Amino acid sequence: MVRTEKQPPKGTFTDFLRARFKGVLDPIGVFFIRLGLTPNSVTWLGLAGIFAAALLLAYGHFFWGGVVVLVMAPLDALDGTMARLSGKPTRFGGVLDSVVDRFAEMILIGGLVFYYLQQNEWLPVFLGYAAAGGSLMVSYVKARAEAAQFVVKGGLLTRVERFVVLIPFLLLRQPLIALWILAVLANFTALQRLWLVYQQSRKEEDLPKA
């Protein structure tokens, strides 16, 4: 069984960050391994931290929620780093990591939606629904396209970029601005990826048949 560390395409912002912070993540990964932690346990730890952040957001503590997300975000890359360093990667670990990533985004946005429901503010609730749906569709289009043997690289607002948008606006106590951006650009990114797949399919149709 082979667990593959998430490998973003070269040239993406995610790839840049992984290369930039490799010298930081590797020593931390080694330290966690020596403590007896496994990549999967770090994945679950990250989700628990995101849940704590969502509770803070649900009760209007946007700044502290943003701080917790900022602290937990590196764990998203650390589990893959630990899998590589330990030499014991598993395919299940890769699937678990991806699934937990999706739950983490839904839980975070759910915390904001809960807060705005208590305030009877329906526009932010709708934006949260759209942001969560768009975030899931970005990942779904990629997964479904790759299952059909298409190559889907990047996109305007992938998961890392979504956190880059969310965290600063939480720290500034302006989550509504983040929801607007996520609601619009996450769905745009899903459609952007679908368009890229369509272009690839057209090119394949134009190829001469053997």
Segments making up each domain of the chain, as ranges: 13-205
pTM of the prediction?
0.83
Give the per-residue pLDDT at 179.
97
Q: Top-level CATH class of 13-205? A: mainly alpha
> How distant, in Å, are the alpha carbons of 57, 61, 109 from that of 68?
10, 11, 14
Q: What is the pLDDT of residue 180?
A: 97
Residue 6: the pLDDT is: 44
What pLDDT score was predicted for residue 33?
Answer: 83
C-alpha span between 71 and 48 (Å, rounded): 12
Counting as low any pLDDT under 50, the low residues of the chain are 1-10
Contacts of 66 (CB under 8 A, 6+ apart): 53, 166, 167, 168, 169, 170, 171
What's the pLDDT score for residue 87? Answer: 73
Decide: 65 and 114 in contact? Cβ < 8 Å: no
In this prediction, residue 8 carries a pLDDT of 42
Please tell me what DSSP assigns to residue 173: T
Residues known to be catalytic? 101
Cα separation, 97 vs 37, in Å, equals: 15
